[in-house]
Amino acid sequence: MSRKKLTVYDYLKSKGNRQLSVMFVHNAEEAAAAEEANIDMICTSHDVPEFGIFNTFDELKRIRAAAPSCFMQSGGPLSGASEYEALKLSHKYMSIGADCMYGGNWSYKWIRALRDENIPINSHVGLIPGKATWIGGFRAIGKTADEAMGVLTHTLELQEAGAIGVELEVVPPKVAAIITKKVDIMTLSMGSGSDCDGQYLFANDVLGYTDGHTPRHARVYRDFKTEYSKLQKERVGAFKEFHDDTINKKFNDPKVTVQINDEEFDKFEELAEKI
């Protein structure tokens, strides 16, 4: 039985009614798995190697096709620095089927301008990777009363600007719970506890193939890194066997070639001798 994809209206109505599962996916295969697993929302990006995201914009089209009933958030590198560029970029993603935009580094001014054009935007509070230099690096935010108030104020200001939700990253769960109650928009937890409106994880963490440091708030459900290592060894082995078969001229095997009958071959040899 097919399910109905969330609209922005449904997304906002989920607040206080049910938790949303949110997964960042890197490719169409992960998107297809999210679709089959009934993940509510997928997030996508492209060409952001500093955050380990190497897929192209075209891959986002394949992701959309692979997960037709998942609410989809998209974003990517923003060239230029203007409301017009942000609006142009947003329409580009919406045109391939994105349901909302990620604007974690965007100003209130830009968010207001895009909301005026009915562009749904999820923003970001707490630990914002793109703004880590302003907070002293990648660290938890909200462990003091003043910092916790700062996260609450930031979320309220984003709500006023027109954002429909925020990724609430590495904020103490008790603080996140109060923020979630104080705002009307969606809060998606990344290491901020189960009292937010949804849980957000990256597929590479869930599947256990993250290169380098795995964030504390990530939860690993499978060990794909080991499986990928095994696959790579098998891949190298297969390529070596092919290389050896090439050198040793093992490609006259009737199983992989076509044959000519003796009579036709004799005729061919006679004709070839005349050239």
| Residue partners of 256: CB distance under 8 A and separation at least 6 | none
Beta bridge partners of 102: 122
Amino acid at 263: E
Distance between CA atoms of 164 and 162, rounded to whole angstroms? 6
Element (H, E) at 167: strand 165-169
Contacts of 98 (CB under 8 A, 6+ apart): 44, 60, 64, 72, 73, 74
Alpha helices by DSSP H, listed for 117-162, are 145-161
Catalytic, out of 50, 157, 169, 234: 169
Q: Tell the burial category of 273 from Cβ atoms under 10 Å away from its Cβ (0-12, 13-18, 19+).
A: exposed
Dihedral sign, Cα of residue 155, residue 161, residue 163, residue 164: positive
Q: Is 169 a catalytic residue?
A: yes
Catalytic residues: 169
